[in-house]
């Protein structure tokens, strides 16, 4: 990552530029540098100059719409063509509907903010843009490392059989490195601690790396939580999971699709197009559950690809909210227009315990000599007994029960269970 991120503000009115620079300098944390330009031409020259610096990188461009010689949508479109990773924001009080639509399509516009702007809205928008840019850069770096690792593995397989033992050791080291990369793509603990007051993550890959993953993103008052189970386990499952995480970033953060059913449909379309583009016979996909939690309306909107969620409200009977009966990227659905359903559950006036999971726990063999599956009914019955314990205590029960059930048998699949509580119950008098 470059040491310093740059924001470029473009407006033909110097007073507006001074105001923008003052507000952003006051409200932004970290090593952020703000540059200004009074025209589209000056902004392009500035970008070309800054592109030559290794220690600095332009993260965000905020442009007015009405400017001499070059309108804001034309400027942002030209920037997007040459520097697609830069986050673009249109800031004006005079833009036409056509100009905004042009910027949305031609420049992949992040936000449109009307003048006079609200300082808080401006600050939150730019902070969110910087966060998205930094996440994209991190993902890009990790993807490059993963591609390099994949190439290294392919090269090693082609080498002489006389070095099989040595190459086996190197392979194990590479898999361990892949584990580090995969762990780095999961939400950081600091983010999880910020989003959830009480939660647990039971994540047990069958092998070193996993085909199961979880993904979290917060935008203003809305929190999106995903638990996904990719086809396979080990390295194939891990590669598919990394593709899934990349597509979630693309669909939700870059395309700004936020309705759960629309997200699932966009994911299905993206992953099937990816396999077709590669002319691959690969039929790998994902089963997943997705929750959109609106803290303002106190409503949870759910969509699932085969996987359900379980909710316990105020320690009452558990609800099982089921998803659609099809997978993301399912081979028999590739040529069809796939539609997913979504459901809404009110969380208001309750302390809510929400559980999202892959099928690994319920499919685990054990139970003595018969070696039967744990089964979904037994698993849901177990979840229903967990509240009102703390999430740490609940995780201990799940781990202990799984260990007792599995015995000395092998783990047959990746296991992922995410549990968290959201308290909207009225305060006690």
Same domain, 246 and 347: yes
pLDDT > 60? residue 349 = yes
Q: Is 194 contained in some domain?
A: yes
57 pLDDT band, cuts 50/70/90, is confident
pLDDT digits (tens, 9 = 90+) for 117-140: 888 888 899 999 888 888 888 888
Provide the pLDDT for residue 140: 84
Asked whether 123 and 160 are in contact (CB, 8 A), the reply is: no
At 288 the pLDDT is 96
Residue with tokens 């803290």: 295
Read off the pLDDT band of 1 (50, 70, 90).
Answer: very low
Nearest to 35 by CA among 82, 135, 116, 48: 48
Among 92, 108, 131, give the residue marking a domain's end. 131
Q: Does the pLDDT value for residue 429 go beyond 50? A: no
Return the closest-CA partner of residue 58 out of 2, 113, 11, 141: 2
Helices (H), 279-390: 360-363, 376-384
Cα–Cα dist 125/131, whole Å: 10
Which residue would you say has higher pLDDT here, 331 or 353?
353
Backbone conformation region of residue 75, classed left if phi is above 0, alpha if psi is from -120 to 50, else beta: alpha
Please tell me whether residues 331 and 247 are part of one structural domain: yes
Q: What is the pLDDT of residues 13-22, one digit of tens each?
A: 999 999 999 9
Q: DSSP alpha helices (H): ranges in 9-58? A: 14-27, 40-50
One domain for residues 95 and 209: no
Rounded distance between C-alpha atoms, residue 417 and residue 379, angstroms: 11
CATH number at residue 32: 3.40.50.2300
Interval 41-69 mean pLDDT: 88
Q: Tell me: the pLDDT tens digits for 364-375? A: 999 877 789 999
Residues 227-272 have pLDDT tens digits of 999 876 667 777 788 888 889 999 999 999 999 999 999 999 988 8
**Dist. CA 227–CA 162, nearest whole Å:** 43
For residue 15, give the 3-state DSSP assignment.
helix
- What is the pLDDT, as a whole number, of residue 337? 73
For residues 356 and 252, state if they share a domain: yes
**Looking at the structure, do residues 239 and 359 belong to the same domain, yes or no?**
yes
Q: Is the pLDDT of residue 307 over 80?
A: yes
Q: Per the domain annotation, does 296 fall within a domain?
A: yes
199 and 348 in a common domain:
yes
The closest of 96, 68, 90, 58 to 77, measured between CA atoms, is 90
Reading across the β-sheet that carries 343-346, which strands appear in turn? 212-219, 222-230, 286-294, 299-305, 343-346
Widest Cα–Cα separation across the chain: 81
- Give the residue among 283, 291, 236, 243 at the shortest CA–CA distance from 267: 243
Give the confidence band of 41 by pLDDT, cuts at 50, 70, 90. Answer: very high
How many angstroms separate the CA atoms of 352 and 328, rounded?
A: 28
Question: Coil, helix or strand for 361?
Answer: helix
* Domain membership flag for residue 177: no
pLDDT of 199 > 70? The answer is yes
What is the DSSP code (8-state) at residue 113? E
pLDDT at res. 177: 58
Residues 229, 212 contacting (CB under 8 angstroms): yes
Residue 266 lies in a domain: yes
CA distance 382 to 373: 14
Q: What percent of the chain has pLDDT over 70?
A: 86
Can you tell me the distance from the alpha carbon of 233 to that of 238, in angstroms, rounded to the nearest whole number?
7
Mean pLDDT of 276-280: 64
Percent of the chain with pLDDT over 90: 51
pLDDT for res 139: 83
Closest to 293 (Cα-Cα) out of 219, 191, 203, 380: 219
* C-alpha span between 361 and 307 (Å, rounded): 13
Domain boundary among 109, 131, 153: 131
Average pLDDT value for the chain = 86
Q: How confident is the model at residue 173 (pLDDT cuts 50, 70, 90)?
A: low
Domain containing 310 equals 187-423
Coil, helix or strand at residue 267: helix
- Kindly report the CATH number assigned to the domain that includes residue 284: 3.60.40.10
């Amino acid at each position: 990552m470059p040491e310093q991120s740059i924001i470029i503000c473009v407006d033909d009115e110097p007073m507006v530029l001074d105001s923008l620079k003052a507000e952003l300098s006051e409200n932004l944390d970290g090593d952020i540098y703000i540059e200004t330009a009074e025209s589209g031409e000056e902004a392009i020259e500035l970008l070309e100059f800054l592109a030559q610096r290794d220690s600095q990188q332009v993260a965000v461009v905020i442009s007015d719409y009405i400017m001499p010689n070059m309108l804001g949508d034309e400027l942002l479109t030209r920037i997007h063509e040459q520097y697609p990773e830069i986050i673009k924001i249109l800031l004006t009080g005079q833009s036409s509907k056509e100009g905004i639509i042009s910027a949305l399509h031609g420049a992949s516009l992040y936000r449109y903010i009307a003048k006079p702007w609200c300082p808080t809205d401006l600050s939150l928008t730019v902070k969110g843009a910087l966060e998205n840019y930094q996440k994209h850069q991190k993902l890009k770096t990790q993807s490059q490392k993963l591609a390099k690792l994949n190439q290294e593995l392919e090269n090693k397989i082609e080498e002489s059989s006389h070095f099989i033992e040595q190459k086996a050791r190197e392979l194990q080291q590479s898999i361990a490195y892949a584990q580090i990369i995969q762990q780095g793509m999961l939400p950081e603990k600091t983010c999880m601690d910020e989003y959830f007051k009480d939660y647990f993550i039971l994540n047990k890959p069958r092998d070193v790396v996993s085909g199961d993953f979880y993904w979290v993103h917060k935008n203003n008052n809305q929190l999106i939580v995903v638990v996904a189970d990719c086809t396979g386990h080990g390295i194939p499952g891990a590669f598919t999971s990394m593709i899934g995480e990349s597509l979630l970033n693309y669909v939700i953060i870059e395309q700004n699709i936020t309705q759960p059913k629309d997200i699932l449909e966009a994911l299905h379309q993206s992953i099937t197009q990816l396999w077709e583009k590669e002319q691959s016979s690969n039929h790998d996909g994902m089963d997943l559950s997705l929750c959109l939690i609106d803290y303002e309306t106190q409503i949870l909107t759910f969509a699932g690809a085969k996987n359900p969620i379980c909710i316990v409200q105020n320690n009452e009977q558990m609800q099982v909210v089921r998803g659609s009966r099809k997978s993301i990227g399912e081979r028999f659905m590739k040529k069809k227009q796939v539609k997913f359903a979504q459901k809404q559950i009110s969380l208001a006036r309750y302390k809510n315990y929400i559980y999202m999971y892959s099928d690994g726990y319920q499919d685990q063999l054990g139970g003595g000599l018969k070696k039967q599956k744990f089964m979904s009914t037994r698993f849901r019955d177990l979840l229903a007994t967990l509240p009102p314990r703390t999430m740490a205590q609940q995780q201990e029960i799940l781990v202990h029960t799984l260990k007792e059930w599995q015995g000395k048998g092998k783990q047959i699949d990746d296991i992922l269970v995410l549990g968290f509580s959201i308290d909207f119950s009225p305060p006690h008098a």
